[in-house]
Structure 1
Amino acid sequence: MIRVLIVDDHPVVRDGLRAAFAAVGDIEVVGEAGDGAEGVRLARELAVEVVLMDLRMPGMDGVRAIQRLRELAPEIRVLVLTTFDTDADVLPAIEAGATGYLLKDAPTEELLRAVRASHRGETVLAPTVAGLLVGRVRKPVKSTLSPREMQVLRLVAGGATNREAAARLFISEASIKTHLLHVYAKLDVRDRASAVAEAYRRGLLD
Protein backbone atom coordinates (compact mmCIF):
# COMPACT_ATOMS: atom_id res chain seq x y z
CA MET A 1 0.00 0.00 0.00
CA ILE A 2 1.19 3.49 -0.87
CA ARG A 3 0.61 5.71 2.16
CA VAL A 4 -0.73 9.10 1.04
CA LEU A 5 -1.29 12.37 2.88
CA ILE A 6 -3.58 15.08 1.44
CA VAL A 7 -2.58 18.67 2.23
CA ASP A 8 -5.17 21.23 1.10
CA ASP A 9 -6.98 24.02 2.93
CA HIS A 10 -10.34 23.19 1.30
CA PRO A 11 -12.24 20.37 3.06
CA VAL A 12 -14.34 19.72 -0.06
CA VAL A 13 -11.18 19.08 -2.09
CA ARG A 14 -9.81 16.75 0.58
CA ASP A 15 -13.11 14.85 0.70
CA GLY A 16 -13.13 14.50 -3.09
CA LEU A 17 -9.59 13.18 -3.18
CA ARG A 18 -10.22 10.74 -0.36
CA ALA A 19 -13.26 9.43 -2.21
CA ALA A 20 -11.22 9.03 -5.40
CA PHE A 21 -8.76 6.76 -3.59
CA ALA A 22 -11.37 4.86 -1.55
CA ALA A 23 -11.82 1.98 -3.98
CA VAL A 24 -8.15 1.71 -4.99
CA GLY A 25 -6.41 -1.38 -3.69
CA ASP A 26 -2.82 -0.15 -3.62
CA ILE A 27 -3.23 3.41 -2.28
CA GLU A 28 -4.31 4.37 1.23
CA VAL A 29 -5.06 7.91 2.44
CA VAL A 30 -3.65 7.87 5.97
CA GLY A 31 -4.22 11.52 6.84
CA GLU A 32 -5.30 15.03 5.87
CA ALA A 33 -3.92 18.48 6.68
CA GLY A 34 -5.28 21.97 6.12
CA ASP A 35 -1.97 23.82 5.87
CA GLY A 36 1.70 23.26 5.17
CA ALA A 37 2.90 23.16 8.78
CA GLU A 38 0.37 20.52 9.76
CA GLY A 39 1.21 18.64 6.58
CA VAL A 40 4.92 18.50 7.42
CA ARG A 41 4.16 17.27 10.93
CA LEU A 42 1.71 14.57 9.85
CA ALA A 43 3.86 13.41 6.96
CA ARG A 44 6.57 12.46 9.41
CA GLU A 45 4.30 11.15 12.17
CA LEU A 46 2.27 8.91 9.85
CA ALA A 47 5.20 7.47 7.87
CA VAL A 48 3.76 8.87 4.67
CA GLU A 49 5.28 7.94 1.30
CA VAL A 50 3.54 10.41 -1.04
CA VAL A 51 2.11 13.83 -0.17
CA LEU A 52 -0.50 15.51 -2.37
CA MET A 53 0.33 19.17 -1.78
CA ASP A 54 -1.69 22.26 -2.62
CA LEU A 55 0.37 25.43 -3.07
CA ARG A 56 -1.67 28.40 -1.89
CA MET A 57 -2.66 27.86 1.74
CA PRO A 58 -2.79 30.07 4.83
CA GLY A 59 0.21 29.99 7.15
CA MET A 60 2.94 27.82 5.66
CA ASP A 61 2.27 27.56 1.93
CA GLY A 62 3.01 24.57 -0.27
CA VAL A 63 6.44 25.64 -1.48
CA ARG A 64 7.71 26.23 2.05
CA ALA A 65 6.24 22.90 3.15
CA ILE A 66 8.00 21.11 0.28
CA GLN A 67 11.30 22.74 1.25
CA ARG A 68 10.80 21.71 4.88
CA LEU A 69 10.02 18.11 3.94
CA ARG A 70 13.11 17.97 1.76
CA GLU A 71 15.15 18.99 4.80
CA LEU A 72 13.48 16.72 7.34
CA ALA A 73 12.32 13.70 5.32
CA PRO A 74 13.82 13.68 1.80
CA GLU A 75 12.54 10.15 1.20
CA ILE A 76 8.94 11.44 1.07
CA ARG A 77 7.71 12.21 -2.43
CA VAL A 78 5.66 15.38 -2.91
CA LEU A 79 3.17 15.62 -5.76
CA VAL A 80 1.80 19.14 -6.21
CA LEU A 81 -1.93 19.21 -6.93
CA THR A 82 -3.18 22.72 -7.57
CA THR A 83 -5.24 24.92 -9.88
CA PHE A 84 -2.30 27.15 -10.81
CA ASP A 85 0.14 26.58 -13.66
CA THR A 86 1.95 29.92 -13.98
CA ASP A 87 5.72 30.46 -13.84
CA ALA A 88 5.38 31.95 -10.38
CA ASP A 89 3.79 28.76 -9.07
CA VAL A 90 5.46 25.97 -11.05
CA LEU A 91 9.13 26.95 -10.90
CA PRO A 92 9.40 27.53 -7.12
CA ALA A 93 7.60 24.24 -6.44
CA ILE A 94 9.88 22.24 -8.72
CA GLU A 95 12.97 23.99 -7.36
CA ALA A 96 11.81 23.27 -3.81
CA GLY A 97 11.85 19.55 -4.57
CA ALA A 98 8.40 18.50 -5.80
CA THR A 99 8.57 15.23 -7.74
CA GLY A 100 5.48 16.04 -9.76
CA TYR A 101 3.00 18.78 -10.63
CA LEU A 102 -0.62 18.12 -11.59
CA LEU A 103 -3.66 20.35 -11.94
CA LYS A 104 -6.81 19.65 -9.94
CA ASP A 105 -8.86 19.11 -13.08
CA ALA A 106 -6.78 16.03 -13.95
CA PRO A 107 -8.86 12.85 -14.48
CA THR A 108 -8.88 10.41 -11.57
CA GLU A 109 -6.95 7.77 -13.53
CA GLU A 110 -4.22 10.31 -14.31
CA LEU A 111 -4.00 11.20 -10.63
CA LEU A 112 -3.70 7.55 -9.63
CA ARG A 113 -0.95 6.97 -12.19
CA ALA A 114 0.84 10.07 -10.91
CA VAL A 115 0.76 8.89 -7.29
CA ARG A 116 2.16 5.50 -8.28
CA ALA A 117 4.84 7.09 -10.45
CA SER A 118 5.83 9.52 -7.70
CA HIS A 119 6.10 6.61 -5.29
CA ARG A 120 8.58 5.03 -7.70
CA GLY A 121 10.58 8.27 -7.75
CA GLU A 122 9.51 9.28 -11.24
CA THR A 123 8.72 12.85 -12.28
CA VAL A 124 5.13 13.50 -13.33
CA LEU A 125 4.09 16.79 -14.95
CA ALA A 126 0.82 18.06 -16.34
CA PRO A 127 1.16 18.71 -20.10
CA THR A 128 0.89 22.48 -19.67
CA VAL A 129 3.55 22.42 -16.96
CA ALA A 130 5.87 20.25 -19.03
CA GLY A 131 5.50 22.69 -21.92
CA LEU A 132 6.28 25.62 -19.67
CA LEU A 133 9.45 23.97 -18.37
CA VAL A 134 10.61 23.03 -21.85
CA GLY A 135 10.16 26.64 -22.87
CA ARG A 136 12.21 27.74 -19.90
CA VAL A 137 15.03 25.38 -20.84
CA ARG A 138 15.07 26.92 -24.29
CA LYS A 139 14.96 30.43 -22.87
CA PRO A 140 16.41 30.33 -19.32
CA VAL A 141 14.82 32.39 -16.61
CA LYS A 142 17.18 35.04 -15.26
CA SER A 143 15.62 35.06 -11.85
CA THR A 144 12.80 33.71 -9.74
CA LEU A 145 13.63 36.15 -6.96
CA SER A 146 10.90 38.54 -5.88
CA PRO A 147 11.45 42.31 -6.21
CA ARG A 148 12.02 42.57 -2.44
CA GLU A 149 14.51 39.69 -2.49
CA MET A 150 16.39 41.45 -5.28
CA GLN A 151 16.47 44.66 -3.22
CA VAL A 152 17.95 42.78 -0.27
CA LEU A 153 20.44 40.98 -2.50
CA ARG A 154 21.64 44.24 -4.06
CA LEU A 155 22.18 45.80 -0.63
CA VAL A 156 24.07 42.73 0.56
CA ALA A 157 26.19 42.79 -2.59
CA GLY A 158 26.99 46.41 -1.79
CA GLY A 159 28.31 45.40 1.63
CA ALA A 160 25.30 46.30 3.78
CA THR A 161 24.79 44.43 7.05
CA ASN A 162 21.37 43.05 7.95
CA ARG A 163 20.77 46.05 10.21
CA GLU A 164 21.78 48.51 7.50
CA ALA A 165 19.63 46.75 4.91
CA ALA A 166 16.67 46.77 7.28
CA ALA A 167 17.07 50.50 7.88
CA ARG A 168 17.30 51.21 4.15
CA LEU A 169 14.17 49.23 3.35
CA PHE A 170 12.22 50.22 6.51
CA ILE A 171 11.67 46.63 7.57
CA SER A 172 12.91 44.53 10.49
CA GLU A 173 16.19 42.64 10.66
CA ALA A 174 14.15 39.46 11.01
CA SER A 175 12.51 40.20 7.66
CA ILE A 176 15.92 40.71 6.08
CA LYS A 177 17.04 37.32 7.39
CA THR A 178 13.90 35.67 6.03
CA HIS A 179 14.40 37.22 2.59
CA LEU A 180 18.01 36.07 2.58
CA LEU A 181 16.98 32.52 3.44
CA HIS A 182 14.62 32.57 0.46
CA VAL A 183 17.44 33.90 -1.74
CA TYR A 184 19.77 31.13 -0.55
CA ALA A 185 17.14 28.47 -1.30
CA LYS A 186 16.36 29.81 -4.77
CA LEU A 187 20.01 30.20 -5.73
CA ASP A 188 20.96 26.90 -4.07
CA VAL A 189 23.65 28.45 -1.87
CA ARG A 190 24.35 28.53 1.86
CA ASP A 191 25.68 31.99 2.68
CA ARG A 192 25.80 35.66 1.69
CA ALA A 193 29.04 35.52 -0.23
CA SER A 194 27.92 32.53 -2.28
CA ALA A 195 24.58 34.20 -2.97
CA VAL A 196 26.28 37.31 -4.34
CA ALA A 197 28.70 35.26 -6.43
CA GLU A 198 25.90 33.10 -7.85
CA ALA A 199 23.78 36.17 -8.59
CA TYR A 200 26.63 37.68 -10.62
CA ARG A 201 27.14 34.37 -12.42
CA ARG A 202 23.47 34.27 -13.40
CA GLY A 203 23.49 37.87 -14.53
CA LEU A 204 21.13 39.03 -11.79
CA LEU A 205 23.59 41.66 -10.62
CA ASP A 206 25.86 43.90 -12.68
Structure 2
Amino acid sequence: MKVLLVEDDPFHMGYLEEQVASALPEADEILLAHDGAEGEDLARRASVGAIVMDLQMKSRNGIEAARTIWSERPQTRILFWSNYADEAYLRGITRIVPEDCAYGYVLKTVSNERLHLALRSVLVQGQITIDREMHRIQKRKTEAGSALTDSEYAVLIDLALGLPDKEIARRHSMSLRTVQNRLLSLYDKLEVDGEEEPGLDGGVNKRVRALTRALLTRTLNVEALESAERARLEEIAASRGTV
Protein backbone atom coordinates (compact mmCIF):
# COMPACT_ATOMS: atom_id res chain seq x y z
CA MET A 1 0.00 0.00 0.00
CA LYS A 2 1.37 3.41 -1.03
CA VAL A 3 0.57 6.43 1.11
CA LEU A 4 1.35 10.00 0.04
CA LEU A 5 1.82 12.74 2.65
CA VAL A 6 1.42 16.34 1.46
CA GLU A 7 2.60 18.85 4.08
CA ASP A 8 4.74 21.99 3.80
CA ASP A 9 5.83 22.20 7.45
CA PRO A 10 8.88 19.99 8.23
CA PHE A 11 7.90 19.46 11.86
CA HIS A 12 4.36 18.36 10.99
CA MET A 13 5.68 16.21 8.15
CA GLY A 14 8.01 14.33 10.50
CA TYR A 15 5.26 13.78 13.04
CA LEU A 16 2.79 12.67 10.38
CA GLU A 17 5.23 10.22 8.85
CA GLU A 18 5.76 8.59 12.25
CA GLN A 19 2.02 8.32 12.92
CA VAL A 20 1.24 6.86 9.49
CA ALA A 21 3.97 4.25 9.89
CA SER A 22 2.53 3.32 13.28
CA ALA A 23 -1.16 3.35 12.32
CA LEU A 24 -0.81 1.70 8.90
CA PRO A 25 1.56 -1.29 9.04
CA GLU A 26 0.26 -2.25 5.59
CA ALA A 27 1.84 0.92 4.15
CA ASP A 28 4.99 -0.46 2.53
CA GLU A 29 5.83 2.86 0.84
CA ILE A 30 5.37 6.37 2.24
CA LEU A 31 5.93 9.20 -0.23
CA LEU A 32 6.48 12.82 0.79
CA ALA A 33 5.44 16.00 -1.02
CA HIS A 34 6.06 19.48 0.33
CA ASP A 35 3.32 21.44 -1.44
CA GLY A 36 0.13 20.84 -3.39
CA ALA A 37 1.74 20.94 -6.82
CA GLU A 38 4.36 18.35 -5.85
CA GLY A 39 1.58 16.26 -4.31
CA GLU A 40 -0.39 16.28 -7.57
CA ASP A 41 2.69 15.21 -9.51
CA LEU A 42 3.64 12.39 -7.11
CA ALA A 43 0.08 11.11 -6.91
CA ARG A 44 -0.02 10.96 -10.69
CA ARG A 45 3.40 9.38 -11.27
CA ALA A 46 3.18 6.83 -8.47
CA SER A 47 -0.54 6.05 -8.90
CA VAL A 48 -1.16 6.63 -5.20
CA GLY A 49 -4.60 5.71 -3.88
CA ALA A 50 -4.23 6.94 -0.27
CA ILE A 51 -3.25 10.50 0.67
CA VAL A 52 -2.98 12.63 3.80
CA MET A 53 -3.27 16.26 2.71
CA ASP A 54 -2.56 19.48 4.58
CA LEU A 55 -5.11 22.15 3.71
CA GLN A 56 -3.23 25.39 4.19
CA MET A 57 0.00 25.48 2.17
CA LYS A 58 1.90 28.44 0.76
CA SER A 59 2.16 26.93 -2.70
CA ARG A 60 -1.14 25.52 -3.96
CA ASN A 61 -3.51 24.64 -1.12
CA GLY A 62 -4.91 21.21 -0.32
CA ILE A 63 -8.35 21.72 -1.83
CA GLU A 64 -6.88 22.78 -5.17
CA ALA A 65 -4.49 19.83 -5.17
CA ALA A 66 -7.30 17.43 -4.24
CA ARG A 67 -9.48 18.78 -7.05
CA THR A 68 -6.77 17.93 -9.59
CA ILE A 69 -6.06 14.51 -8.07
CA TRP A 70 -9.73 13.56 -7.93
CA SER A 71 -10.30 14.74 -11.50
CA GLU A 72 -7.65 12.24 -12.63
CA ARG A 73 -8.20 9.44 -10.07
CA PRO A 74 -11.69 9.84 -8.52
CA GLN A 75 -11.36 6.82 -6.22
CA THR A 76 -8.33 8.25 -4.41
CA ARG A 77 -8.90 8.30 -0.66
CA ILE A 78 -7.85 11.56 0.97
CA LEU A 79 -7.64 12.45 4.65
CA PHE A 80 -7.34 16.22 5.03
CA TRP A 81 -5.76 17.56 8.18
CA SER A 82 -5.72 21.16 9.28
CA ASN A 83 -5.06 23.56 12.14
CA TYR A 84 -8.46 25.14 11.55
CA ALA A 85 -12.04 24.02 12.03
CA ASP A 86 -13.21 26.21 9.15
CA GLU A 87 -16.63 25.79 7.61
CA ALA A 88 -15.13 27.13 4.39
CA TYR A 89 -12.67 24.23 4.17
CA LEU A 90 -15.34 21.60 4.72
CA ARG A 91 -17.62 23.22 2.14
CA GLY A 92 -14.73 23.40 -0.30
CA ILE A 93 -14.08 19.69 0.13
CA THR A 94 -17.69 18.57 -0.16
CA ARG A 95 -18.07 20.60 -3.37
CA ILE A 96 -15.28 18.69 -5.14
CA VAL A 97 -15.30 15.18 -3.67
CA PRO A 98 -16.38 12.54 -6.24
CA GLU A 99 -19.49 10.51 -5.55
CA ASP A 100 -18.90 7.45 -3.33
CA CYS A 101 -15.32 8.49 -2.59
CA ALA A 102 -13.87 8.10 0.91
CA TYR A 103 -12.46 11.24 2.51
CA GLY A 104 -11.95 12.73 5.94
CA TYR A 105 -11.21 15.94 7.82
CA VAL A 106 -9.22 15.86 11.05
CA LEU A 107 -7.61 18.61 13.11
CA LYS A 108 -3.89 18.58 13.80
CA THR A 109 -4.65 18.96 17.51
CA VAL A 110 -6.30 15.54 17.86
CA SER A 111 -4.69 12.83 19.96
CA ASN A 112 -2.50 10.16 18.36
CA GLU A 113 -5.27 7.65 18.97
CA ARG A 114 -7.90 9.69 17.14
CA LEU A 115 -5.49 10.39 14.29
CA HIS A 116 -4.80 6.65 13.97
CA LEU A 117 -8.54 5.94 13.90
CA ALA A 118 -9.05 8.56 11.17
CA LEU A 119 -6.14 7.21 9.11
CA ARG A 120 -7.47 3.65 9.19
CA SER A 121 -11.09 4.68 8.76
CA VAL A 122 -10.49 6.72 5.60
CA LEU A 123 -7.41 5.20 3.96
CA VAL A 124 -7.97 1.52 4.76
CA GLN A 125 -11.68 1.06 5.43
CA GLY A 126 -12.88 3.63 2.90
CA GLN A 127 -15.19 5.55 5.24
CA ILE A 128 -16.07 9.23 5.52
CA THR A 129 -14.73 10.69 8.76
CA ILE A 130 -15.22 14.29 9.94
CA ASP A 131 -13.62 15.72 13.07
CA ARG A 132 -15.89 16.12 16.10
CA GLU A 133 -15.21 19.85 16.31
CA MET A 134 -16.52 20.31 12.77
CA HIS A 135 -19.69 18.43 13.76
CA ARG A 136 -20.09 20.72 16.77
CA ILE A 137 -19.77 23.82 14.60
CA GLN A 138 -22.31 22.50 12.09
CA LYS A 139 -24.72 21.49 14.85
CA ARG A 140 -24.52 24.88 16.57
CA LYS A 141 -25.18 26.73 13.32
CA THR A 142 -28.05 24.44 12.36
CA GLU A 143 -29.70 24.76 15.76
CA ALA A 144 -29.29 28.54 15.68
CA GLY A 145 -30.72 28.69 12.16
CA SER A 146 -27.55 30.37 10.92
CA ALA A 147 -26.21 27.60 8.67
CA LEU A 148 -25.95 28.74 5.05
CA THR A 149 -27.53 26.67 2.32
CA ASP A 150 -25.38 25.73 -0.68
CA SER A 151 -27.26 28.33 -2.73
CA GLU A 152 -26.64 31.06 -0.17
CA TYR A 153 -22.97 30.10 0.05
CA ALA A 154 -22.61 30.33 -3.74
CA VAL A 155 -24.09 33.84 -3.65
CA LEU A 156 -21.72 34.76 -0.80
CA ILE A 157 -18.71 33.64 -2.86
CA ASP A 158 -19.84 35.74 -5.82
CA LEU A 159 -20.47 38.69 -3.51
CA ALA A 160 -16.87 38.34 -2.32
CA LEU A 161 -15.71 38.39 -5.95
CA GLY A 162 -17.42 41.76 -6.32
CA LEU A 163 -20.03 40.59 -8.81
CA PRO A 164 -23.27 42.57 -9.25
CA ASP A 165 -26.65 40.93 -8.68
CA LYS A 166 -27.35 40.47 -12.39
CA GLU A 167 -24.09 38.59 -12.96
CA ILE A 168 -24.71 36.40 -9.91
CA ALA A 169 -28.15 35.58 -11.28
CA ARG A 170 -26.68 34.67 -14.67
CA ARG A 171 -23.94 32.43 -13.23
CA HIS A 172 -26.37 30.38 -11.17
CA SER A 173 -29.43 30.49 -13.46
CA MET A 174 -31.41 32.40 -10.84
CA SER A 175 -33.87 35.23 -11.18
CA LEU A 176 -32.79 38.62 -9.91
CA ARG A 177 -35.45 38.38 -7.20
CA THR A 178 -34.03 35.04 -6.05
CA VAL A 179 -30.53 36.51 -5.75
CA GLN A 180 -31.87 39.42 -3.73
CA ASN A 181 -33.74 37.02 -1.44
CA ARG A 182 -30.53 35.00 -0.94
CA LEU A 183 -28.70 38.20 -0.01
CA LEU A 184 -31.36 39.12 2.54
CA SER A 185 -31.05 35.65 4.06
CA LEU A 186 -27.25 36.00 4.13
CA TYR A 187 -27.48 39.33 5.93
CA ASP A 188 -29.79 37.80 8.51
CA LYS A 189 -27.70 34.66 9.14
CA LEU A 190 -24.42 36.60 9.27
CA GLU A 191 -26.01 39.12 11.66
CA VAL A 192 -25.29 42.10 9.47
CA ASP A 193 -26.49 45.31 11.12
CA GLY A 194 -27.88 47.65 8.48
CA GLU A 195 -28.83 50.48 10.84
CA GLU A 196 -27.22 53.87 10.56
CA GLU A 197 -24.21 54.50 12.78
CA PRO A 198 -22.96 57.83 14.23
CA GLY A 199 -20.68 59.64 11.82
CA LEU A 200 -21.93 57.80 8.73
CA ASP A 201 -23.81 59.64 5.98
CA GLY A 202 -25.81 56.50 5.24
CA GLY A 203 -26.30 53.03 6.55
CA VAL A 204 -23.71 50.28 6.72
CA ASN A 205 -22.68 48.80 3.37
CA LYS A 206 -24.32 45.42 3.83
CA ARG A 207 -22.34 43.64 1.13
CA VAL A 208 -19.00 44.65 2.63
CA ARG A 209 -20.22 43.97 6.15
CA ALA A 210 -21.48 40.50 5.14
CA LEU A 211 -18.05 39.66 3.74
CA THR A 212 -16.37 40.88 6.93
CA ARG A 213 -18.70 38.78 9.09
CA ALA A 214 -18.15 35.73 6.87
CA LEU A 215 -14.38 36.03 7.32
CA LEU A 216 -14.60 36.65 11.07
CA THR A 217 -16.84 33.61 11.58
CA ARG A 218 -14.66 31.47 9.27
CA THR A 219 -17.60 30.89 6.98
CA LEU A 220 -15.12 32.05 4.34
CA ASN A 221 -11.34 31.94 4.42
CA VAL A 222 -8.51 33.18 2.22
CA GLU A 223 -8.05 29.81 0.50
CA ALA A 224 -11.74 29.69 -0.49
CA LEU A 225 -11.48 33.19 -1.96
CA GLU A 226 -8.26 32.39 -3.81
CA SER A 227 -9.85 29.30 -5.35
CA ALA A 228 -12.96 31.24 -6.33
CA GLU A 229 -10.85 33.99 -7.89
CA ARG A 230 -8.84 31.50 -9.94
CA ALA A 231 -12.01 29.75 -11.09
CA ARG A 232 -13.48 33.10 -12.10
CA LEU A 233 -10.38 34.07 -14.10
CA GLU A 234 -10.44 30.67 -15.84
CA GLU A 235 -14.10 31.22 -16.69
CA ILE A 236 -13.33 34.63 -18.17
CA ALA A 237 -10.38 33.27 -20.17
CA ALA A 238 -12.52 30.40 -21.50
CA SER A 239 -15.26 32.79 -22.59
CA ARG A 240 -12.67 34.79 -24.54
CA GLY A 241 -11.24 31.67 -26.13
CA THR A 242 -7.79 32.16 -24.62
CA VAL A 243 -7.55 28.70 -22.98
- Within the alignment, does 1:69 sit opposite 2:73 as a pair? no
Q: Report the alpha carbon displacement of residue 203 of structure 1 after superposing the two structures with TM.
A: 4.8
Q: Is the 8 A contact 1:21 1:29 kept in 2?
A: no
Q: Is the 8 A contact 1:4 1:27 kept in 2?
A: yes
With over 3 angstroms needed to count, the CA separation of the structure-2 counterparts of 1:198 and 1:91, relative to structure 1, is farther
| Larger CA Rg, structure 1 vs 2 | 2
- Within the alignment, does 1:43 sit opposite 2:43 as a pair? yes
Aligned length: 170
SS at match of 2:153: coil
Q: Which of 116, 121, 143 is matched with 2:153 structurally?
A: 143
Q: Which of 108, 126, 146 is matched with 1:104 structurally?
A: 108
Q: Report the alpha carbon displacement of residue 40 of structure 1 after superposing the two structures with TM.
A: 1.3
With over 3 angstroms needed to count, the CA separation of the structure-2 counterparts of 1:197 and 1:117, relative to structure 1, is same
Task: Report % sequence identity.
Answer: 24
With over 3 angstroms needed to count, the CA separation of the structure-2 counterparts of 1:28 and 1:59, relative to structure 1, is same
Q: Is the 8 A contact 2:36 2:64 kept in 1?
A: yes
Q: Is the 8 A contact 2:106 2:131 kept in 1?
A: yes
Q: State the AA in 1 paired with 2:136.
A: G
Moved more, 137-146 or 81-90: 137-146
- 1:128, 1:115 → 2: CA distance? 17
Q: Is the 8 A contact 1:153 1:196 kept in 2?
A: no
- Within the alignment, does 1:152 sit opposite 2:160 as a pair? no
TM-score (norm 2): 0.60
Q: Is the 8 A contact 1:21 1:28 kept in 2?
A: no
Question: Partner residue of 2:128?
Answer: 123
Question: Partner residue of 1:114?
Answer: 118
With over 3 angstroms needed to count, the CA separation of the structure-2 counterparts of 1:148 and 1:134, relative to structure 1, is same
Q: Report the alpha carbon displacement of residue 89 of structure 1 after superposing the two structures with TM.
A: 2.6
- 1:99, 1:109 → 2: CA distance? 18
SS at match of 2:110: coil
With over 3 angstroms needed to count, the CA separation of the structure-2 counterparts of 1:41 and 1:204, relative to structure 1, is farther
With over 3 angstroms needed to count, the CA separation of the structure-2 counterparts of 1:198 and 1:31, relative to structure 1, is farther
SS at match of 2:84: coil
Alignment RMSD (CA, Å) = 2.8
- 2:47, 2:175 → 1: CA distance? 37
Q: State the AA in 2 paired with 1:196.
A: S
Deviations 1:26-53 (A, max 9, x none): 2345211111111111112222122111
Which consecutive residues of structure 2, in runs of 5 or more, have no partner in the other structure?
A: 185-243
Deviations 1:100-149 (A, max 9, x none): 10001222222222122113321111111122234455544121543433
With over 3 angstroms needed to count, the CA separation of the structure-2 counterparts of 1:57 and 1:153, relative to structure 1, is farther
Q: Which runs of 4+ in 1 moved over 6 A?
A: none
- 2:40, 2:89 → 1: CA distance? 19
Q: State the AA in 2 paired with 1:121.
A: G
Which consecutive residues of structure 1, in runs of 5 or more, have no partner in the other structure?
A: 160-191
